[in-house]
Structure 1
Amino acid sequence: MKVVHVFNVAPTSESKELPTQTTLPLTFFDILWLRLPPVQRIFFYHFPHPTPLFFDTLLPKLKRSLSLALAHFFPLAGHLTWPLHSQNPIITYKTGDTVSLTVAESHADFDRLAGTDLSEAREIHHLLPHLTISHDQASVLALQVTLFPNSGFSIGITSHHAVLDGKTSTSFIKAWAYLCRDQPEPESPFSLPPELSPFFDREVVQVHDPNHLEQKFRSDWLRQGGPDNRSLVVWDLQVPDDATRGVFHLGRSDIEKLKQIVVSKKKGNSSNLRLSTFVLTVGYAWVCRVRAEETKNKTVILALNIDCRNRLEPPVPATYFGNCVGARLAIAETKELLGEDGFIVAVDAVNESLETLKEGALSGAENWSKWLHESFKDDVKIVGVAGSPRFDAYGNDFGWGRPKKVEMASIDKTAAFCLSDSRNGDGVEIGFVSTKEAMHAFAYLFLNGLHQS
């Protein structure tokens, strides 16, 4: 790969008045993720045109629309700090702050990287930008556009987990795509539709912290390497050498098959179960993975991220800027998942964990930090679930069509499942990383289970 240029893109002041300086404190939702590795995604786009068209037409539109989008999401150009005078880390933006945009050229096989075959996890790492993070300061966002001459281009996005969750990150990308696709003429208004306009008021979240979660989560980080460790350096999780990436698809008809399996096995006792696309998808992927990886741990846990925006009372606006994600744990015995009715066991476990949402989105929240900081016993294995089909990742059209493929590259380090909508609009995609042997076994179990049902 050859780096062609690195641009520092500032929020534009065209037709929109920007603050000269502003700060946003992190809430308890944000602080929970303070030192977790950045979230990284790559969007692959078909662009079978000569190189000059990319540099003369596409790149200028991407740069200008990025500047326009940053005018609305201006904290993304700022920095995360934790000054001694502040109880919490804060996001600081001031005039002149920018986002790094790397432009590169790659002669790798675009069609293979944007395809669905199993591949080495590291093969796409050169398409990702790095955040500048030190003990005292961290960038919030970094971007990289990589051209594959006469084939396509990719947009790699690295974002700080303590500043934005998947919903906020997706809203920014959608805003950027909207402004690029329907780019206004210079000097004309460039407003965003209400569903893409960020809401910055922290008070809507802070009122939901009567149990002092903010103080607890903050204290837990300060004690890590503490007693007063304000370092912003994130965990350095390594990608295993044999890590292999796979993306698997469940169409609507497949999901209906899985639903009928549960209904049949339950013999009329499934009326009180959630048999949503989410439950069926994660339950099926979970049991296939436990079998494919030949899990030896006594107990396995599936950690589910829950968007709390519309689950709080009063609810938080859908366009709230920042983290607003909680957690639930689905727990099952490995031997039961390996048994004949393993899929039913998985669905029951996911349902049981989601049932606690009736007690409130923040029920059990005092344990969230402990789940991150304290290792589970040796006989327990935990796997996370990231992303959501509701993010409509494949709807991000910058003016040259829908993505050919969307990857969450950061699951290389976390070993989580990633859920997204499907490239063909039918059903759900499930991505994850494991050993090559386990990925081949998973592919067989995943497809065979559907064909037998």
Structure 2
Amino acid sequence: MSSHQVRDISRCTITPQRTTESPQTPERCQLTSWDLSMLSVQYIQKGLLFYTPSSLKHPSNPTVHLLKKSLSQALLHFSPLAGRLKIHHSSSPSSSSSSSSSSSSSMYVFIECNDAGAEFIHAAADVTVSDILDPIDVPQIVKSFFSLNGALNYDGHSIPLLAVHVTELIDGVFIGCSMNHSVVDGTSFWHFFNMWSEIARRGGEGSDCISAPPVLQRWFGDLDPSLVRLPFSEADEFIERFTTPVLRERIFHFSAESIARLKAKANEECNSNRISSFQALCAHVWRSVTRARKLSPDETTTCKLLIGNRTRLQPPLSPFYFGNCVHYVDTTSTAIQLLSHDLGWAAWLAHQSVATQTDATVRGTLDAWVKVPFVLQEGNVDKWGVYFTSSPRFNMYGNDFGWGRPVAVHCGGANKFDGKVTSYPGSGGGGSVDLEICLFPEFMNALESDDEFMDAVSHS
């Protein structure tokens, strides 16, 4: 299926339509260290597939009109998404002991909440829902259901922070969102999606009140926000464009029963009851991918879990805190250690890594960043790492725009590399989990031939 099958019908900019009753909006939102570290990463791209609502077949297309209207109303509450990034440069005296005068440059980045608006694209494609769901691998055309492909978060000073791409299929509709990852993490991404669908489900009425308003004030912990800056004078000092390699991308389904068996096995093998279902599943995938890669015995491999920090802080942040509040936790082993031990050994390593992430540890990541600021680079990922992102706890299938629940969740082509694993709640619910695994073709072929891995995969 060629991406050329997707054709644009219309493009426009959606801005918040403010009234005297509209929520108050800040003039600017400064970015935290967690936000700034994402500037050289690509946008979050996630979308939902639905069967065609009857209203979409109407000549005047009231469904697209409703999506535009409700998006405008949602932006009243999530005003940073209608803004643009702003970059200010400053100089301060150097700490050098040299007698000559010198200065060091720094970069102050914030969101200007100027209502510049979000991009909205209405498109069409001559494919069916089954064309998307039936193939073993994720069809390449799915990447064309998203806007701002290849854009980095830093580009948000000149392009929208949010782009919505609504693609009509022969018997369905796909709503794809590309959202700046320096503005949101996965929790905030789906919070916005949930509130947008809530407004649409009400027919776009009563948008002055939503069930879970976002908390827009950025959190800096004990730090002075003025210290949270980038020690650069030019963007090319920390921005690196990333070209996605040729990968196979496949979604594997794990039933609640299969995950329960993995959890029980892991806990029994390490004589514990503390291994979580997701930790057991991640350990299973980590070991399986390492086998598929056929690493030399002394090669180092890392299981990297992107964990949320809102509930780890004391006091905890609101679940509706809007921004990034995540960081990676690493679990490292040599290939021979990982594969010569059982599932419980690997799961216990992952559990211990997560368990150490206390309030003090999380705050420590902020302090450490200020001392040694860094910006993540897609091109510098661990060669033999397995990166687990997103979460099966996110409310993806609750996004009912007024015509029922989605039938599938997909992500675009952004931030894809060998070893990337994206977690979704299972489409069937009930505690099942779907994992989109990205691997080089030879590694994916080996994974599919791995009986131990595939025995845990649901084929229904």
TM-score, normalised to structure 1's length? 0.85
Deviation for aligned residue 1:434: 1.4
Does the aligned pair in 2 maintain the 1:116–1:246 contact within 8 Å?
no
Deviation for aligned residue 1:336: 2.4
1:198 matched to 2:214? The reply is yes
Deviations, residues 6-59 of structure 1 (Å, cap 9, x unaligned):
021111225633668711111112111121111111211111759633852211
Deviation for aligned residue 1:338: 2.8
Map 1:20-419; keep pairs closer than 5 Å: 22-47=27-52, 52-53=57-58, 56-84=61-89, 87-95=107-115, 97-115=116-134, 117-120=136-139, 122-130=140-148, 134=155, 137-149=158-170, 151-185=171-205, 188=206, 190-193=208-211, 196-202=212-218, 205-209=219-223, 214-215=228-229, 218-219=230-231, 222=232, 228-230=233-235, 235-241=240-246, 243-266=247-270, 269-271=271-273, 274-296=274-296, 298-339=299-340, 341-358=341-358, 360-363=361-364, 366=368, 372=376, 381-409=384-412, 410-413=414-417, 415-419=419-423
3-state SS of the aligned residue for 1:391? Answer: coil
Letter in 2 for 1:249: H
Letter in 2 for 1:183: G
User: Which stretch shows the higher mean deviation, 82-91 or 389-398?
Assistant: 82-91
Q: Distance in 2 between matches of 1:39 and 1:235?
A: 17
Deviations, residues 402-430 of structure 1 (Å, cap 9, x unaligned):
11111223342474211111111032111
Does the aligned pair in 2 maintain the 1:411–1:433 contact within 8 Å?
no
Q: Distance in 1 between matches of 2:210 and 2:290?
A: 44
User: Which stretch shows the higher mean deviation, 394-403 or 53-62?
Assistant: 53-62
Q: Distance in 1 between matches of 2:314 and 2:227?
A: 17
Residues 1:3 and 1:48: Cα distance change in structure 2 (over 3 Å): same
Residues 1:408 and 1:294: Cα distance change in structure 2 (over 3 Å): farther
Deviation for aligned residue 1:369: 5.8
Q: Distance in 2 between matches of 1:295 and 1:420?
A: 28
Residues 1:15 and 1:342: Cα distance change in structure 2 (over 3 Å): farther
- In structure 1, the gaps of 5 or more residues are 223-227
Q: Distance in 2 between matches of 1:167 and 1:197?
A: 14
Aligned residues: 426
Deviation for aligned residue 1:326: 2.2
3-state SS of the aligned residue for 2:28? Answer: strand
- In structure 2, the gaps of 5 or more residues are 1-5, 91-105
Q: Distance in 2 between matches of 1:213 and 1:438?
A: 44
Q: Distance in 2 between matches of 1:402 and 1:313?
A: 36
Deviation for aligned residue 1:355: 2.5
3-state SS of the aligned residue for 2:330? Answer: strand
Q: Distance in 2 between matches of 1:117 and 1:281?
A: 21
Deviation for aligned residue 1:261: 1.5
Deviation for aligned residue 1:363: 4.0
The match for 1:422 among 412, 421, 426 is 426
3-state SS of the aligned residue for 1:7? Answer: strand
Match of 1:12 in 2: 17
Q: Distance in 2 between matches of 1:211 and 1:52?
A: 51
Deviations, residues 383-410 of structure 1 (Å, cap 9, x unaligned):
3211011112122111122111112233
Residues 1:288 and 1:371: Cα distance change in structure 2 (over 3 Å): farther
Letter in 2 for 1:108: V
Deviations, residues 227-266 of structure 1 (Å, cap 9, x unaligned):
x12469954222223x111111222211111122223323
Percent of matched pairs sharing the same residue: 24
Residues 1:63 and 1:375: Cα distance change in structure 2 (over 3 Å): closer
Deviation for aligned residue 1:375: 8.5
Match of 1:432 in 2: 437
TM-score, normalised to structure 2's length? 0.83
Tell me the C-alpha RMSD between the 2 structures.
3.1
Q: Distance in 1 between matches of 2:174 and 2:71?
A: 15
Q: Distance in 2 between matches of 1:303 and 1:107?
A: 39
